[in-house]
């Protein structure tokens, strides 16, 4: 494999899809979209997709997922969202129902990051070069 980003998809499992949608749309100022599930999908699965272009190379897309048997939170993987300045999204987290776990911290030449939990208990990261 060439030296490119191999990550193409992520899923953030949630217990309350409506509440999680409100959180992510408020923090990142974007609109999640519902996509009809294919006939092969389980009846108990619902997904809201982050804006994306699936043809784009070297980038990842993903969705919030509500599915029986998959509890939100307590995961050991953290998805980092790109930002111009992560302090901007950090300022929206509490008002959107989440919790800032680690306020903006410098990573030196590698930018800065914020760690937070969403309304479902999932840990997320926000990264920026500012």
Among candidate residues 73, 90, 9, 92, the one with its CA nearest the CA of residue 47:
9
pLDDT in tens, 22-33: 999 999 999 999
Tracing tokens 């699936």 back to the chain, one arrives at: 54
Three-state secondary structure call for residue 86: helix
3-state secondary structure of 113: strand
Residue 70: the pLDDT is 82
The pLDDT tens digits for 105-121 are 999 988 999 999 999 99
- pTM of this prediction? 0.82
pLDDT > 70: what percent of the chain? 87
Query: What is the C-alpha separation between 4 and 49, in angstroms, rounded?
Result: 23
**Confidence band (pLDDT; 50, 70, 90) for 104?**
very high
- Distances, alpha carbon 124 to alpha carbons 39, 46, 106, in Å: 31, 21, 17
Q: Domains plus CATH for the chain?
A: 9-128 (3.10.180.10)
């Amino acid at each position: 494999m060439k030296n490119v980003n191999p990550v193409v998809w992520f899923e953030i499992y949630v217990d309350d899809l409506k509440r999680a949608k409100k959180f992510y749309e408020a923090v990142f100022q974007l609109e999640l979209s519902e996509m009809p599930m294919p006939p092969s999908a389980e009846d108990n699965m619902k997904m809201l997709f982050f804006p994306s272009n699936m043809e784009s190379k070297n980038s990842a897309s993903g969705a919030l997922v509500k599915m029986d048997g998959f509890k939100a939170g307590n995961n050991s993987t953290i998805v980092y969202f790109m930002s111009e300045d992560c302090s901007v999204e950090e300022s929206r987290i509490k008002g959107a129902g989440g919790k800032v776990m680690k306020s903006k911290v410098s990573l030196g030449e590698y930018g800065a990051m914020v760690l937070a939990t969403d309304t479902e208990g999932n840990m997320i990261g926000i990264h920026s070069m500012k």
